[in-house]
Amino acid sequence: MEILKGYEGAGPLARLVFRREGRTKRVSSWDRTGGNRDFLTIPAGATATLADLQGAGCIRHIWITVGCRDPLYLRKVVLRMYWDGETEPSVLSPLGDFFGLGHGIARSFMSLPLATVTHTDNEGNYGGGVALNCYFPMPFSQSARLEVVNECEVDIGSFYYYIDYETYENPLPENVLRFHAQYRQEYPTRGTQGNLFEQRRNYWELLDTPNLSDEENYLILEAEGAGHYVGCVLSVDNIDPLPVIRKLGSHEQIIKEYTWWGEGDDMIFIDGEPWPPSLHGTGSEDYLSQAWGMHPRAYLYAGASIPEHDPKFPDRHQCTSYRFHIEDPILFSRSIRVSIEHGHANLQENDYSSVAYWYQTEPHKPFPPLPPVNERLPRNMRSSG
């Protein structure tokens, strides 16, 4: 299709005027009997195939909502995607995290590639009904298979979904990359100087501590091949308090004060380059396109899908933020390593988890297995078994 002069880099609205080749199709959970039971029931421990598409095409939109009695289903249900007959998934993530919601928490937010909606009364709760939307394009040349695994101890009573996609008569061009998404976690991160609270040391007095390596950073992505990194969802459970010492006469009282988890620089190494990396940041909120801390705002390319300071849950210190490189993808030819300090110089010991999103050539480096389901749960909701 010929593009008019001046439209080469046009946005999605401007491009709507051009005819496109292909056919739009959908796989969904609609009731084949004609009734209104438009959902799947997925037993505990079972795997359900949502779509098994053949030929060349591209997934354009995914919508999912789940009815499940387990309040942590957003962390327990696993999403997997395979392209072109591969045996290792190109997408592997807990359901909620893939759609931008960490910690198993339901919340409404809107970005360009991901959007979620829940009832006003359910905002910030664990679980409950929430609409999950993804608009990342996911091309395939031969086949696409999407699966969910129910790792809850109870059945999923109702799993509703749409998968909207296009099919093409002609093969995809060779320069069309495949979509990838990978979940990682570190519970907790290891402080390079030990537990500061137990040592009665103040984090804010250690900001001149040097760090000239990414070895102790929280690792968001490590991939091999050629492609571009398009962003991440980053979740932090701020469990590492500051020691506040109050003098009561001749005695001292230690008070736990939960403070800012950030000041961690992002570091992105391209194609195996040595220190320092081509992309070195200045702080956690800076990489996440905010400043002077994280704020309860959700924008197209960056923001907080779950703000840390929620008046509905004053004793909870869990947050999820996102940064999407839609207009500024980070290119690599052989490999990429994306990481971030957990606090300046990796001094803090908090629970970190993330989903990285990128496009690359195949085959991709196999992903590490997901942690066992109980180890993925928020610390305050984890069983002792």
Q: Which residues pair with 270 in a beta bridge?
A: 336
pTM of the predicted structure, to 2 decimals = 0.95
Structure tokens given for 12:
């999605």
CB–CB of 305/113 below 8 Å? Answer: no
Q: What size, in residues, is the chain?
A: 385
Position 121, amino acid: D
Residues 151 and 186 in one domain: no
Domain total of the chain: 2
245 or 34, higher pLDDT: 34
Decide if pLDDT at 4 tops 60.
no
Decide if pLDDT at 18 tops 80.
yes
Last residue of a domain, one of 176, 208, 229: 176
Decide if pLDDT at 178 tops 50.
yes
Q: What is the CA radius of gyration of the chain?
A: 22
CB–CB of 159/41 below 8 Å? Answer: yes
Residues 151 and 181 in one domain: no
CB atoms within 10 A of CB 355: 28
Q: Which residue range forms the structural domain that includes residue 322? A: 177-379
What H or E segment, with its residue span, contains residue 304? strand 302-306
Tell me if 296 is assigned to some domain: yes
Residues 261 and 278 in one domain: yes
Residues 108 and 232 in one domain: no
Structure tokens given for 169:
């008569």
- CA torsion through residues 188, 192, 198, 202, sign: negative
Residues 149 and 197 in one domain: no
Q: Summarize pLDDT for 253-291 with one digit per residue, the tens.
A: 777 888 889 999 999 999 999 999 999 999 999 999 999
Tell me if 3 is assigned to some domain: no
Secondary structure of residue 196 in the 3-state scheme: helix
Residues 337 and 248 in one domain: yes
Longest dimension (CA), the chain: 82
Secondary structure of residue 221 in the 3-state scheme: strand
CATH code at position 281 = 2.60.120.1390
| pLDDT score for 160 | 99
Q: Summarize pLDDT for 186-225 with one digit per residue, the tens.
A: 999 999 999 988 888 888 889 999 999 999 999 999 999 9
